[in-house]
Amino acid sequence: MLRFIKDHNQKGQLAENLALKYLQKQGLTRLQENFSCKHGEIDLIMFDNEFIVFIEVRYRKKTQFGHPLETINDAKQKKILKAVQYFLIKHPEFNHLACRIDAVALYSQDQSREEQIDWIQNAIQA
């Protein structure tokens, strides 16, 4: 489904929506989408029981040149960590919760129309 969309921004938004729905089915609750600050962006912020979870969503049409999660390089991880720190400074009401940074990868497998989803908990650690 995603691979047939030409517009990059539209494709990214749809990938984030698919990830959100998937995570909600896994029991997570949505707090905020697309938190942006001067340090970077956090695609999804959700609750998972006693955790506040910051989620990076990555999409690749094909995996022949690597898994989508391989695109989260050191520079991207640093940006995510700074954005998480900024969010927590701006929202001290969440400081009592444990934090986790997860990643969700969406990709097409063969010629199937359905995207495969991999959810990695604690994908990025401070």
Using CA atoms, how far apart are residues 118 and 112, in angstroms rounded to an integer?
16
Q: How confident is the model at residue 11 (pLDDT cuts 50, 70, 90)?
A: low
Residue 95 is encoded by which pair of tokens? 């400081």
User: What SS3 state is found at 126?
Assistant: coil
Q: What's the pLDDT tens digit per position in 78-122?
A: 999 999 999 999 999 998 999 999 999 998 766 666 788 999 999
Q: What CA–CA distance (Å, rounded) separates 27 from 75?
A: 30
**What is the rounded distance in angstroms from the CA atom of residue 42 to the CA atom of residue 40?**
7
Classified by CATH at the fold level, domain 2-124 comes out as Trna Endonuclease; Chain: A, domain 1 (3.40.1350)
CA distances to 9, 18, 30 from 13, rounded to whole Å, are 6, 9, 15
* Contact present, 97 and 73 (Cβ < 8 Å): no
CB 70 within 8 A of CB 114: no
Q: What residues does each domain of the chain span?
A: 2-124
Instruction: Please tell me what DSSP assigns to residue 3.
Output: G
Split at pLDDT 50, 70, 90, the class of 14 is confident
Given a contact cutoff of 8 angstroms between Cβ atoms, the answer to whether 57 and 68 are in contact is no
| pTM, entire model | 0.86
36-58, pLDDT tens digit by residue?
Answer: 999 999 999 999 999 999 999 99
